[in-house]
Amino acid sequence: MTSTFIAIIDFVGTFAFAISGALVAVRHRLDLFGVLVLAFAAATAGGIVRDVLLGATPPVSVLDWRYLAISSAAGLLTFYRHERVERMRNPVQLSDAVGLSLFAVLGADKALEAGLGPTGAIMLGILSGVGGGIVRDVLVAQVPSVLQRELYAIAAFAGATVVVVGDALDLPPAPVAVGGAAACFVLRWLAIRRGWRLPVSRGGGPG
């Protein structure tokens, strides 16, 4: 993919995840600083994991001021206009699904460019997609969505797999990336709407 297209995916995904992080922070009644911290953490954690595993250090989200600016803008928008944002249907899940889709595709593509094989690219795509949501949930003492809710990592797996298969078939990267992101988003959104999830253990709780 071209650098411009990659940057667009990265920035849109950053904004989407930042919105999800900020909304969770507002719902937990964090102050403005807490909202901005959670927005930045949700927006960049997946990319930081991706870059560290690829040896691209310091991570681009730490070096490039635009990531902080984008996440801060999303955090401020959500903090001061959260009632309007909340009027959107399932806003956290929607923005989270967008971020998941874009980061899964981007992570897989960057892994392929770095020379990782298909398995490594898919795994890195999944980690890129779920990392922000995990950090967001942990910071507010919630069990991460990837461990308990409707198909989450599976959706990221689907998106990353589309990118890997498209690369193996030597298909144009931009349409493949769009297709992978769409596959991930649709699967995630259908899982939310229809309650699709993996089997859950019937074991009792602690104690």
Q: Residues 42-58: pLDDT tens digits?
A: 999 999 999 999 998 89
Query: What is the amino acid identity at position 108?
Result: A
Helix boundaries (H) for 55-144? 60-63, 65-80, 82-86, 91-113, 118-139
Band the pLDDT of 86: cuts 50, 70, 90: confident
Band the pLDDT of 33: cuts 50, 70, 90: very high
**Given this model, what pLDDT does residue 192 score?**
84
Non-local CB neighbours of 197 within 8 Å, separated by 6+ positions: 149, 150, 151, 191
CB 150 within 8 A of CB 93: no
CB 78 within 8 A of CB 19: yes
pLDDT in tens, 148-204: 767 888 999 999 999 999 999 999 988 999 999 999 999 998 988 888 888 877 765
CA–centroid distance for 144 within its chain: 13
Residue of 180, 207, 79, 192 lying closest to 145 (CA atoms): 192
Residue 141 main-chain phi, psi, to 5 deg: 60, 40
Mean pLDDT confidence for 140-147: 86
